[in-house]
Amino acid sequence: MRACVAWIVLLWALFGAQPATAQHDVDLEQWRAWYREAAASQTGSVMVGHMASDCGTCEGHPLSHGFLAVSNLMVADELWNPLEKIEIFNAWQPVLESAVAALPEHPDLALLRLGVQTHVPSILNYSNNTRADRLLVERALAQGHWSTDRIHAAFVRDFLMYLKSL
């Protein structure tokens, strides 16, 4: 897995990915699609590659940085070695938190963090914001935040229904 991530970084360095200069709706819709695909197929490494090629390290852009962090956290979930899982979690969880801190009321970031907090083992003690994030996501869905991205709105609705079933 480390070799895969190393190749992604190497390819990014060789082909000079351009940093994101603006977070256009088209970019956001694409990032959402990559997130849905990674969540459905449990292939976070594919999303890491897409995000790296789309925005490099995504530094300075909290929304893209949040999507990149979540893609790496999804990779951690796919690994078998618990020590590698913890290492990746400890590296990328603060990145996600910094993205959320920069845009604390952004529904997409709340959804990303809610997804991570729902799926990490309780031993990691990372579930402090689940209620607040769930309420923010529910409110955003009701107010039409994802109305221009109907596929993602359905994904969000389904995820909220899943949470209610837990």
Cα–Cα distance measured from residue 140 to residue 153, given in angstroms and rounded to the nearest whole number: 10
Q: Write out the residue range of the structural domain in which residue 41 sits.
A: 2-165
* Residue 18 phi, psi (nearest 5): -85, 135
Task: Provide the greatest CA pair distance for the chain.
Answer: 46
pLDDT value of position 10: 34
pLDDT value, residue 25: 62
pTM: 0.83
pLDDT of residue 16: 41
Summarised one tens digit per residue, pLDDT across range 119-135 is 998 889 999 999 999 99
Q: Judge whether 50 and 34 are in contact, CB under 8 Å.
A: yes
- The pLDDT of residue 153: 98
User: From its phi and psi, is residue 42 left (phi > 0), alpha (psi between -120 and 50) or beta?
Assistant: left
The number of folded domains in the chain is: 1
C-alpha to C-alpha distances, 117 to 8, 12, 112, 133, 163, nearest whole angstrom: 26, 29, 9, 10, 11
Cβ burial 48-59 (10 Å sphere, 16+ → b, else e): bbbbbebbbbbe
Q: Which residues of the chain, if any, have pLDDT below 50?
A: 4-23
